[in-house]
Structure 1
Amino acid sequence: MAGSNFIDHVRLYCRSGNGGAGAVHFRREKHVPKGGPDGGDGGRGGHIILRGNKQMWTLLHLRYQKHVFAENGEGGSGHGSTGADGKDIILDVPLGTVAKIAEPEEEFLFEITEDGQEVVLLPGGRGGLGNTHFKTATNQTPRFAQPGESGQENLMVLELKLLADVGLVGFPNAGKSTLLSVVSAAKPEIADYPFTTLVPNLGVVPYRDHRSFVMADIPGIIEGAAEGKGLGIRFLRHIERNSILLFLVPADAADIQKEYDILLGELRKYNPELLDKERILAISKCDMLDEEMMEEMKELLPKDIESVFISSVAQMGLQELKDLIWKRINQ
């Protein structure tokens, strides 16, 4: 994912189409001197619809589309003719897109989770009834019809939460991008400085018997991220969609337990429900350790989480890690 292309939050001013007015019209033919009302109904206003597209991974295409206005329905006409419906506007969005009303305060509407799924964001107004509908025993020539119903308008928020089986959680330089690049075909930017990863990266990890799972590398969390420090909470929302949280702490960390506790604390402050997810702890960069050092380190690891020693560079422990992840996914 190129950083400039990954957009996970857009605001759009949307307006669905007004319904067309019903017609006031009377049948006028040479051999029907007293024809009754035959005004047709107005057409429906255009809907604004979101449609899931599994080929998309960003909201970039909507970044500069500040206004989305659907067509109005056409008015009815004589001979009972109904006006044409306004053209719907269909916005393709990535799976995991959440739609919200922006004002006066954000209100959740729905989420797009399946390819081809279509949900009406704002419905168009109904067309008005023509005067045909208002003929009664006491009023054979009604000279009125319904106006079309107004469409709806609102400032909307579209927010993308990436759909992945496993989310990588760790401080900057914990080795998350390196791990993702080794176990999948993803090619995240990798360098030896903090915050190399500025946007989430997704990778499909192949497993045995042609099976696979999706792993997401979330930009590094630092202490205080939930309060907006570092990259802040901008990308923490993507962790909410992961079924498993894979914590990465490097073997050369000063205090593995402390780093793990800080990461847990940041997730808890952002959303306590994140701690209900399955968790795995991977100690990265273990090519610098010998067997004796790893045995000693095991005694210092958190006791409430299953742990595995790995090295992405030396490709050590990666199959064990994938086996553990697959087991948890299918529990």
Structure 2
Amino acid sequence: MGNHRNQEQLIVKIAIVGDVHDQWEEDDAIALKQLGVDLVLFVGDFGNESVSVVQAISSVDIPKAAVFGNHDAWYTATEWGRNKCPYDRRKEDWVQEQIDLLGTADVGYGKLDFPEFKLTVVGSRPFSWGGSKWKYKDFYQERFGVASIEESTKRILGAAKSAAYDTVIFLGHNGPKGLGDHAEDPCGKDWEPLGGDFGDPDLEQAIAQTRIFGKTVALVTFGHMHHKLRHTKERLRTSIYISPEETVYLNAARVPRIIATENNRLRNFSLVALEGGVVTEASLVWVDKEFAIASEEILYRRSTEVVPSI
């Protein structure tokens, strides 16, 4: 597709890479090039503090933005994780190594302006575990100077306020609160007790306030809550939610994201078309070993139906 002007409307083709969990290969970068995407967004969970995966992703030669997930601080953020840590934390800091590798592409508690696309990507709380409870207290205080959900909201909102463009995309590891409280909803709680909204309240509040000061929130994309549900095999998690403001919320976590068959190797990406600052289509594609699209699932298509005037 490529970004270009079509009847004075800028069209941007965006790829979203769901939870990686150590499934990233050189062919992924080639596939992104073959798909002809303009911008790549990573929702985190690259691995359990997998520095090598982050290093490979940092070399992707396409405009990109990323946030870190809870697994990216797996041996650092919690006491039980620190007890399982495979390296000497007095000598090494794999969390900081990942942050350094991504550099400006890391938008957690920050933003990245893309002049060529006339949009800004704003990152939500990095390393989010999900839910309304404030977790990793020591981790967030030490690394970011953030001590509560309220302070976290202010950090996200501050980044959004500094956006150079009116069109904003929010990128998070976990999605916002407010997308439904059923187990099958984009951020629904799929374990006992079954049901409940496991979205992040700081992201929800930051999005709402960003709209109030005049920005257009075109897309909110995230992962964390995998598409396969624990309580049933009859259906998958709902990937898409459309708000009354026509913001598209997309859970891009399709795990495992690479599947090997007897004679093929398939890898998934979520694709979003943004036209004039509005999402017109979202899909999930599986790319084969020849870098062709083996299957495509249309998740959302904006209605172009024109209501006749009376």
TM-score when scaled to structure 2?
Answer: 0.31
TM-score with structure 1 length normalisation?
A: 0.30
- Which has the higher Rg, Structure 1 or Structure 2? 1
